[in-house]
Each structure stands twice: as C-alpha cells, then as structure tokens.
C-alpha cells in the first residue's frame, strides 16, 4: 500500500483564460507536516483548491488515498480530507457552534440529526482551537481572528486523516498563531494527521513544518527540509528578499533575518561616526540600533571569530580585529585610537573585560579625557571584571568624568539624538 495520502500529477489550472498552475507535480506522504510557501499570486490557494476538489484542473490528475479525486463523491472526499480556506463566506446568522457542527455533515447528512459522537467531535475541536467560549455567539459578531479559529475547528471536527489549510494564521494574534501551529504539530505527531498548510511566515513554517514546498509563478521551485529550502539564494530568487539565514540554537531550524531595511538606512547615513566597544555577543543589539539610526559605526578591538565581529561585518561596520586569544597588539591599538579620534561618541556595551581586551577600556578613558563623549551600559560591572579590579576602576573613572549611563541600545540612540 502506498504511503502517499495525496498526489498531484501534471496539474494545470486557473480561472478562465488565466493560467495559474503550470505542470505541478507533488506527493504528500502520510503523517507529514508540510508547509506551502510562495509570494502572493504564486498559486498557493489555487493548488489547495485543486487538491481539495473545489477547483477542477484543466489538465492533470489528483489521487487521494490511491483513488482519482475526480471519481469520488463529495461526501467521500469530505470523509478523507478537510479543507480550511483562506476566505469563506460564513452564514452570519449561524452560531459558532452551528458552523463547527457543519464539519460533521459528511457523517450525518445535511438534514440528519447529530449523534453523541458528532457533539463530542465538535466540542473537542472547539476546545482545541480555544473557541468553545464562542459557541453561542453569532458568527457575524466575531472578530476576524475568532472567526478564523471557528472555521479551523470546523475542519478539525471532520476528523479526517488529511488537513489542507490556506493561510490558517490570517487575523490571528501571535499567541494564537503559535498555538495553532503547535496544535497542528501535536495532532500530526500524536494522531497521525497529515497537514499541508499554505503559510506566509517563513520563520514559523521553518520551525513547525518537516518539509517545505515553494511555489513561484505556478511551479514548484523547491521541495525539501527547512534547512535545504530556506537559504539566502532562494529568498532572493523567489521573494526578492535580501536576508541572512541563521540557525535557531534552541531548535536547529533556519531563521530568516531581513536586512533590506538596514541596508537602505545605512545608505542614508549622515556621516556621523560612533565607536562601539563590545565582544562575546554583547554588541549585536547596540551596533544594530546605531546602524538603523543612521550612524556610521566602527567596532573593536575584537578578536577574530568573536560573534560580534560577524554581526558588525554584516551590518557594514568597520571592525578592528586581533588574532584569537592574544592581547591587543600595538598595531591594533593604534587603529583603535584612530577610530576613537574620528568618532563623535563612544559606546561601551556590557562586555566582560579580561587582561586580553582591557586595552580597549584604557583607550576609552584616554579618549574621554581628550573630550570624547562616552555612553556606558548601565549594568553590574563587578560581574564583568576579570582583571582583579582594574576594569571596575576604569569604569568608575568614566562615570566620574561624566559618562552617560544607558540601559538599552534604544536609550543610547535617544541620548545621542539629544
């Protein structure tokens, strides 16, 4: 017996003379959780409508559990798959409970009386989608997000082995977006529900889906695991997005960080320079905030392979580097002093100081004495001093000579604006 629950072969489909899908081939294996990605107008909704039987393709065939979809009665299809569309005209005179109970129609008929198992299925679906409290409310009185959860509950009430969803997160707040995908993954893992969902949020799709399909101009251009699919080259080619792709350390899944805004803003810099002393990941947020605010940023001295070095390079900052695990050399110190002299002000991020990077702090003290403004992270510097008190002594000198204490990168930007 084939493990594929649904297969599409050479699907061409559209509306009137407008062709949307162009020779799509795909197969979804039982118990998969698949995300369908693509820019607006790429054909995601059309593909789901074809797979659900709502739209007949002009060419090609869809197979559902080994049967031609075109040869199955609508009632039989509804017992095998549930389709939750992106937009649906729900009869506003119905209560939310009545809408969810419509999901049981394939089992009780349009004019039959619901059974105990139908009542239980509808109630369980509403509990899972956090909308049971809306049961007696008129659908017309619900918000967009509430209505979205009710329609999802209706799909779950069908209790099928395959669930197709077209933008199920539309109108939902962040908590309900994550909750919805968590529920779908739980049903996928624990009850074997196969899920194919069209999603706009690439990061959420990457975190929750085992496999991603990417549509572009009616054709599948990528098919694989999130790590295989979510790459800078694909994001640029399909979405026109300039972005970094990083790995979420908690899950190992790729995470997209758009950088177009930062590049645009960096191009509009005012020419005002700022130097940031940081290290060990403490400077990323400070460098980013300053770049976004239009400052031309220099950073260092950082040891090569420091995570702040990578962030600074990608944000277009000038970076002074030193070999790993070595004290700051005379050459690097000269470059630092030159950068401090050019800077309008200096930011000291909440970095830990040891004997290897203490020269950075000493140079900042000297620059302050020469008239440079210093913004100092407001933190417990005792915990960050690994020099036997030398770093804290220098920090106290900075404070005594008028350093501005700032708690966050945003506060630093505001202070500099003043």
Segment 261-304, tens digit of pLDDT: 444 344 444 568 999 999 888 888 899 889 888 899 999 899 88
pLDDT at site 86: 78
pLDDT at site 55: 95
List, edge to edge, every strand of the sheet that includes 404-406. 318-322, 296-303, 273-277, 345-348, 373-377, 404-406
Per DSSP, 329 falls in state: P
N-to-C CA span, the chain: 71
Crossing angle of helices 260-267 and 284-292, in 10° steps, is: 60
Structure-model confidence comparison of residues 125 and 110, the more confident one: 125
H-helix or E-strand spanning residue 28: strand 18-29
Confidence class of residue 250 from pLDDT cuts 50, 70 and 90? Answer: confident
Closest CA to 180 of 41, 33, 52: 33
Q: What count of other Cβ atoms lies within 10 Å of the Cβ of residue 61? A: 14
Euclidean distance between CA atoms 295 and 270, whole angstroms: 7
pLDDT at site 222: 96
Structure-model confidence comparison of residues 148 and 376, the more confident one: 376
Share of the chain above pLDDT 90, in %: 54
Indicate whether this model's pTM tops 0.95.
no
- In the chain, list all ranges with CATH 3.40.50.300: 4-258
Pair of tokens at residue 210 = 């085992």
pLDDT at site 23: 96
Pair of tokens at residue 6 = 């649904």
Pair of tokens at residue 115 = 């059974």
**Topology classification of domain 4-258:** Rossmann fold (3.40.50)
Helix (H, G, I), strand (E, B) or coil at 79: helix
pLDDT at site 50: 97
Euclidean distance between CA atoms 397 and 380, whole angstroms: 15
Share of the chain above pLDDT 70, in %: 94
- Write out the CATH class of domain 260-417: alpha beta
Strand runs (DSSP E) across 243-384, as ranges?
243-247, 254-258, 273-277, 296-303, 318-322, 345-348, 373-377
Structure-model confidence comparison of residues 111 and 410, the more confident one: 410
Q: What count of other Cβ atoms lies within 10 Å of the Cβ of residue 59? A: 12
- Alpha-carbon 31 to chain mean position: 24
Euclidean distance between CA atoms 62 and 25, whole angstroms: 9
pLDDT at site 111: 65
- In the chain, list all ranges with CATH 3.40.50.720: 260-417
Mean pLDDT, range 18-25, rounded to an integer? 95
Q: Give the chain's mean pLDDT.
A: 88
Residue 230, pLDDT above cutoff 90: yes
Condensed to tens digits (0 to 9), the pLDDT of residues 351-390 reads 999 888 999 999 999 999 999 999 999 999 998 898 999 9
Mean pLDDT, range 165-169, rounded to an integer? 91
pLDDT at site 268: 44
Residue 396, pLDDT above cutoff 60: yes
- Decide: 42 and 217 in contact? Cβ < 8 Å: yes
pLDDT at site 266: 43
Structure-model confidence comparison of residues 411 and 109, the more confident one: 411
């Amino acid at each position: 017996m084939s493990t594929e629950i649904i297969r599409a072969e050479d699907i061409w489909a559209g509306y009137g003379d407008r062709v949307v899908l162009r020779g799509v081939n795909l197969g979804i294996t039982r118990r998969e959780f698949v995300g369908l990605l693509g820019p607006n107008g790429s054909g995601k909704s059309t593909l789901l409508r074809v797979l659900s039987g709502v739209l007949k393709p002009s060419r090609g065939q869809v197979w559902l559990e080994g049967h031609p979809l075109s040869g199955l009665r609508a009632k039989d299809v509804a017992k095998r798959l549930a389709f939750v569309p992106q937009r649906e005209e729900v009869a506003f005179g119905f209560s939310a409970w009545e809408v969810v109970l419509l999901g049981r129609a394939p089992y009780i008929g349009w004019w039959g009386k619901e059974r105990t198992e139908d009542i239980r299925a509808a109630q369980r679906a509403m509990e899972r989608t956090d909308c049971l409290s809306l049961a007696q409310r008129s659908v017309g009185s619900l918000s967009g997000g509430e209505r979205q959860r009710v329609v999802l509950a209706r799909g779950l009430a069908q209790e099928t082995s395959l669930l197709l969803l077209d933008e199920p997160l539309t109108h939902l707040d962040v908590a309900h977006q994550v909750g919805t995908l968590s529920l779908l993954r739980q049903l996928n893992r624990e009850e074997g529900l196969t899920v194919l969902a069209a999603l706009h949020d690439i990061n959420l799709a990457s975190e929750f889906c085992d496999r991603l399909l990417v549509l572009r101009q009616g054709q599948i251009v990528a098919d694989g695991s999130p790590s295989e699919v979510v790459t800078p080259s694909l994001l640029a080619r399909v979405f026109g997005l300039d972005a970094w792709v990083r790995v979420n350390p908690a899950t190992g899944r790729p995470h997209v960080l758009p950088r177009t805004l930062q590049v645009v803003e960096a191009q509009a810099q005012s020419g005002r320079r700022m130097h940031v002393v940081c290290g060990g990941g403490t400077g990323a947020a400070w460098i980013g905030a300053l770049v976004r605010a239009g400052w031309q940023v220099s950073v260092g001295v950082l040891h090569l392979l420091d995570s702040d070095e990578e962030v600074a390079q990608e944000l277009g900052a000038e970076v002074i580097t030193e070999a790993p695990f070595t004290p700051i050399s005379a050459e690097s110190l000269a470059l630092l002093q030159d950068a401090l002299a050019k800077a309008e002000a200096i930011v000291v991020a909440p970095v830990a100081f040891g004997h290897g990077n203490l020269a950075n702090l000493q140079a900042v003290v000297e620059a302050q004495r020469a008239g440079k403004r210093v913004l100092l992270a407001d933190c417990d510097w005792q915990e960050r001093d690994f020099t036997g008190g030398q770093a804290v002594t220098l920090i106290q000198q900075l404070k005594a000579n008028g350093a501005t204490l700032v708690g966050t990168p945003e506060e630093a930007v505001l202070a500099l604006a003043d």
